[in-house]
Amino acid sequence: VKKQTSIPVALYGGRHAVTMLPGSGIGPELMTYVKNVFRYAGAPVDFQIVDIDPKSDDKKELEYAITSIRRNGVAIKGNIETKSESAEVRSRNVAIRNELDLFVNVLHCKSFPGVPARQKDIDIMIIRQNTEGEYAMLEHESVCGVVESMKVVTHSNSERVARWAFDYAKRMGRKKVTTIHKANIMKLSDGLFLETSRRIAKEYPDIEHNDMIIDNCCMQLVSKPHQFDVMIMTNLYGSIVSNVVCGLIGGAGLLCGKNYGDHYAIFEPGTRNTGTAIAGKNIANPVAMLNAAVAMLEHLGHTKHAKLIENAIIQTICHDNIRTQDIGGTNSSTDVVQAIIDHILQADVRPW
Ligand code: ADP
Ligand code: MG
């Protein structure tokens, strides 16, 4: 199976340049932890930091961020807030994904043994269409008091995401793909998405394919989540289902999300929260952003550094029980980061 995303060529000395978009809320403090952990792990990455002011509608900052990602090929990001309710100002998170054609979002929802959670031993891969559907941002007030919002589903994007999902399932040795939809009501749009995934499924006879209506899917996830293996769905269902599964595993502070297109990749916390209320209090869970950083290292081919950091995270939260409040602990963010760094320093196998 061919690798779906082209990996940027390393700079002299095997170092990679990566764009860092700290975003708002807890984003900047989480990025500080990433930089610290990378320093101790000796990860060969140079960050190019691009700050985007939430209050400014200046297009220049966004353009600069996009240019930087085009040049580096890879970015790590926090959530960029748009502090304007004007319909004219579009979400810059959505703009970045659309502009770079990051058509697939992948969330590998795997339980952390020992971390308090509503469900145990979950291992679900959520593959989400990331650039169209309900996020087409085509809304207008057609006559006074009547607002229309367009959900756009295209054959080409449905096919790309379905093929991506089946290739991924095959590469990862997964057994089943479930398409999530509401084709009983949205017969044309979700119907096209479902039909396309059924057609692509025929090319993968070794992988079982079924489908489920989104509402039943939410109920099944909460009560019997172990029936799911790989799931594919349109954009908004993906956002909701990702949050449901993160909630089952331990909340917003653990998992990372990966956004891929044919040329670029962006790594971020899985539920894409800003965390405004908890910013600056040393209580945010650093794990989701650190896991995003691990996924980024894997993507760049720095697998030894990725493993070193991943093991240190697991040791800290699963075995030492050093955890932030959101996952039932009493430690601060910096306690958790320090414990992770200590494990990195104690590791027997060094990547260099
Ligand atoms: P949004 O950005 O979508 O408005 P919030 O910022 O309100 O979402 O985050 C949703 C919830 O998840 C909040 O209760 C927030 O405290 C929590 N949360 C998000 N990220 C983290 C994190 N890294 N550690 C702990 N809690 C988090
Ligand atoms: Mg918020």
- Give pLDDT tens digits for 58-89: 788 999 999 999 999 999 999 998 877 777 77
CA 290 → CA 18, 77, 224, 244, distances in Å?
15, 11, 29, 21
Q: Quote the longest CA-to-CA distance of the chain.
A: 68
Per-residue pLDDT, 236: 97
Report the atom number in ligand 1 closest to the C-alpha of 286: 23
CA dist 17 and 300 (Å) reads 10
8 A C-beta contact, residue 43 and residue 305: yes
Per-residue pLDDT, 2: 45
Q: Of 29, 3, 76, which is closest to residue 266 (Cα–Cα)?
A: 76
ipTM: 0.96
CA dist 241 and 246 (Å) reads 9
Residue 33 Cα to ligand 1 midpoint, Å, equals 17
- pLDDT (tens digit, 9 = 90+) per residue, 198-254? 999 999 999 999 999 999 999 999 999 999 999 999 999 999 999 999 999 999 999
H or E element at residue 29:
helix 27-41
Residue 252 Cα to ligand 1 midpoint, Å, equals 6
Residue 279 Cα to ligand 1 midpoint, Å, equals 10
Among protein residues, the one with the nearest Cα to ligand 1's atom 15 is 275
Residues with CB under 6 A from ligand 1: 25-26, 79, 252-253, 273-278, 284-285, 288, 326
CA dist 262 and 5 (Å) reads 5
Q: Nearest 10 degrees: CA dihedral of 232, 217, 131, 285?
A: -100
pTM of the model: 0.95
Per-residue pLDDT, 351: 65
CA dist 218 and 224 (Å) reads 10
Per DSSP bridges, beta strands 133-143 and 146-152 are: antiparallel
- pLDDT (tens digit, 9 = 90+) per residue, 170-180? 999 999 999 99
8 A C-beta contact, residue 269 and residue 131: no
Contacts (Cβ under 8 Å, ≥6 apart) of 12: none
Averaged pLDDT for residues 264-286: 97
